[in-house]
Amino acid sequence: MQEIKVWKLATSSDQKTKAEAIGAITETVTEQLLEDALTTSPELLMPDLILVGRQNETTGGPLDLLGVDEDGRLVVFELKRGNLTRDAVAQAIDYASYLAELEPEDLSRHVSENSGKGGTDKIDDFGQWYQSHFQHPVAEIGIPRVMLVGLGVDERAKRMVSFLAKCDLDISLITFSGFKLGGETLLARQVEVQSRPPSAGVKSTKLENQGKLDKLLATLDLKQNYEALVAATKKGLGSSGYQWPNPTGYSFYLPEVSASGGPTNRSYLALYAPENKNGKVQILLQTRAVEVVQAENIEKLAKAMGTSFAANSAGGGEIWIDGRKPASDYAQPLTELAQAVLAGWKTKMESKSKAELEEVPQSPQTVQTSPQ
């Protein structure tokens, strides 16, 4: 593999730019810093990652880290204090295959029972938590992704991961290096192998989901009121909103740009009609929705509906309303809530576009790679 080297660019008294090498810190120190940093700052691994387990017990041994990515897929992380070898590749696949073979109830139980360890949040009911975050059941979670993380990688392990990625297994490999600059510690992240984007999302089709939802609403005798609530939400989101049926409700998406630079749709809110809640309808707000509207503004709109807003530990939240009451009791504040989400989303997108257009000054630190 290639060695990561870092230089600081400095201007001398004669106005000439010179490169000053920044020394790497020892592997032992990097190991200690990295393990804690990955748990407290999972964005080092991937954007919008939520860690749901650390040292989860499996039949093949303890799984280092377990996360859920922004699209609702499980991610198995195998961490090595040193170079990744082919044994690490085998271990990671063993853990992923173990989770993939669990029935939905067993998977939910596994995550719930192992959560709360090593700095991760405690999740009492993973099935409910997952439904609330991603608006589809754990049964549709799909095959886990795999990511290997270390302070280096040998060529055989890298070759194996590259081969598996080409064979459409969602597997990636990243390495970290540590450096010291004055009194600060720097981490450099290098993607050694990047998996291909998944060719398909959740298992159920739109038509299948719609059929399940129609049947549920008929059973609950909520179809007319629920459709009126959906119409009020769509009115607030306008033409920018995209509606997708799930077995228990509609999710509403707005277009964004993915981490790889391509177009994608991100869920902002949903209307969920649980079968066991006696006609109650849950208005779910994703973290991104709460961020652009602000919790205090959501609370005001919830009060206008005669209810309250309950935030969750992940930054999102929920509003419960009575689906058996006339939809007109909630239509106006629900439309205003959707309008606030749309306005906040537009502001966020405009800020991102402006930042991309502005010329960003070059950082005084630059990362170069050179062969050993």
Over residues 266-295, the pLDDT tens digits come to: 889 999 999 888 899 999 998 899 999 999
52 and 188 inside one domain? yes
b/e for 303-312, b at 16 or more Cβ within 10 A? eebebebeeb
257 located within any domain: yes
263 pLDDT exceeds 70? no
Q: Supply the pLDDT for residue 363.
A: 45
188 and 253 inside one domain? no
Q: Supply the pLDDT for residue 24.
A: 62
- Model pLDDT for residues 148-170, shown as the tens digit of each residue: 998 888 899 999 999 998 888 89
107 and 168 inside one domain? yes
164 and 218 inside one domain? no
The pLDDT of 121-146, averaged and rounded, is: 82
328 pLDDT exceeds 60? yes
**How many structural domains are present in the chain?**
2
Residue 82 Ramachandran class (φ > 0 left, ψ -120 to 50 alpha, else beta):
left
Q: Which two tokens stand for residue 145?
A: 């992704």
230 and 194 inside one domain? no
The residues facing 152 across adjacent strands are: 83
pLDDT band, very low/low/confident/very high, at 364 (cuts 50, 70, 90): very low
134 and 250 inside one domain? no
Q: Supply the pLDDT for residue 26.
A: 54
Domain end, chosen from 200, 234, 252, is at: 200
Residue among 260, 310, 304, 261 nearest 283 (CA): 310
- Model pLDDT for residues 40-87, shown as the tens digit of each residue: 888 888 888 889 998 888 888 889 899 998 888 899 999 887 788 899
- Top-ranked range on mean pLDDT: pick from 51-60, 261-270, 363-372: 51-60
Q: Supply the pLDDT for residue 128.
A: 79
369 located within any domain: no
Domain around 146: 3-200
366 pLDDT exceeds 50? no
99 and 149 inside one domain? yes
365 located within any domain: no
140 and 8 inside one domain? yes
367 located within any domain: no
368 located within any domain: no
Alpha carbon distances (Å) from 107 to 58, 76, 139: 11, 13, 9
Q: Supply the pLDDT for residue 196.
A: 65
Domain containing 253 — which CATH number? 3.90.1150.20
118 located within any domain: yes
Other CB atoms within 10 A of residue 357 CB: 7
